[in-house]
Amino acid sequence: MNIENLEAFVYVIHYGSFNKAADMLFLSQPSVTARIQTLERELDCKLFDRFGRQIQLTEKGKQFLPFAQQILQTYQKGRVQLHKQKALPNVVRIGCTISVANYIIPDVLPVLKTNYPDLTFKLSVATTDDIMNQVLNKELDVGFVRNVAHPHLQSIKLYIDPITLYVHEGHSFIDNHEVTIKDIEQEALVFFECGALDWLQLHRVFENLDNPPQIEYMTDNLETAKKLVLNKAGICFLPSLCVSKEVSEAKLFPIHFPEVSNISLQTNLINLHGENSVVFNSLLDMAKEILLSKQSFLKS
């Protein structure tokens, strides 16, 4: 049985005439009539009664209609699936910064794998500059990076992570509602330095204090900085996403100051324009949904 004949049958019913069906199928009216007649011969029954220019389904036509619709729907779904698979690579190469690797990717990739079970994901951890260059050279398909712009890249904001001071359990700041930014002058400070401009803003805040804070430890690793605070070696300004688990367990506590309320780290998702759009859009949607739920928790 010819799919085109079934398509003509369903279109005639949907649009109510042979002429309108022919227009929508970019065919002549006699071609549509010929397809219907061929289908009637294959089924050995009459599908339409014709009354001048009016048409009406016969009882046999009414019985056959839901089967014809189901066959066409199945055919269309099959075509979409084949094109979808064709558009996807076998291996998706994802680059990300270390913070994304630790706090975003473990939640996002399992959801993506559920939607695309035939894909294999290869993850590379690097700096923003390295990831951007590898995406430009087609060594990576997509990248999670800091806020970047390039004429050959699609770069869409994924998440803005506020930077907040976090202190350990039992710290005097927790129940002190009158604590101000000046109070950090007397505290041992762990400083996480990632080189982003946002961290330079923190240095400017420190410069406005009468006495700079006592930076006892400097590290470029978020987990190290966080564990130093957990071990009560000092307090630290950290992106909120990396401490969501510790905050939920009441092991770390945020202390908010107006002076740093506008300081944050932005994460973007990048790819080459026109490349891997299916994976890119799926990653973007899933990551945004997961991060939104985490952000809502941190605000609650």
Q: Would you list the domain boundaries of the chain?
A: 3-87, 91-156+274-299, 160-264
The pLDDT assigned to 174 comes to 95
pLDDT at site 146: 87
Rg (CA), the chain: 30
Between helix 3-15 and helix 29-43 the angle, nearest 10°, is: 110
Residue 211 is predicted with a pLDDT of 83
For the segment 256-274, what is each residue's pLDDT rounded down to a tens digit? Answer: 999 888 888 888 999 888 7
C-beta of residue 253 within 8 angstroms of C-beta of residue 87: no
Range 160-264 has CATH code 3.40.190.10? yes
Half-sphere exposure of residue 297: CA atoms within 13 angstroms, side-chain side: 16
Mode of pairing for the β-strands spanning 188-192 and 235-239: parallel
Q: Comparing 3-87 with 160-264, is the CATH topology the same? A: no
Which conformational region is residue 193 in: left (phi greater than 0), alpha (psi within -120 to 50 degrees), or beta?
beta
How far apart, in whole angstroms, are the C-alpha atoms of residue 64 and residue 66?
6
91-156+274-299 under CATH 3.40.190.10, yes or no? yes
Q: For the chain, how many residues are written?
A: 300
Strands 264-272 and 142-146: antiparallel
pLDDT of residue 276: 66
| Sign (positive or negative) of CA dihedral 47, 49, 52, 55 | negative
What was the pLDDT predicted at 197? 47
Burial call 66-103: b when 16+ CB within 10 Å, e when fewer: eebeeebeeeeeeeeeeeeeeebeeebbbbbbebbbbb
One-letter amino acid at 283 equals: L
pLDDT single digits (tens) 98-149: 888 988 888 888 888 887 888 889 999 998 999 999 999 999 999 999 888 8
Helix (H, G, I), strand (E, B) or coil at 42: helix
pTM as predicted: 0.62
Query: What's residue 83's pLDDT?
Result: 52
Is the distance from CB of 192 to CB of 238 less than 8 angstroms?
A: yes
Measured CA angle at 122 (ends 121, 126), to 5 deg? 135
Give domain 3-87's CATH architecture.
Orthogonal Bundle (1.10)
Q: Which residues of the chain have pLDDT under 50?
A: 197, 297, 300
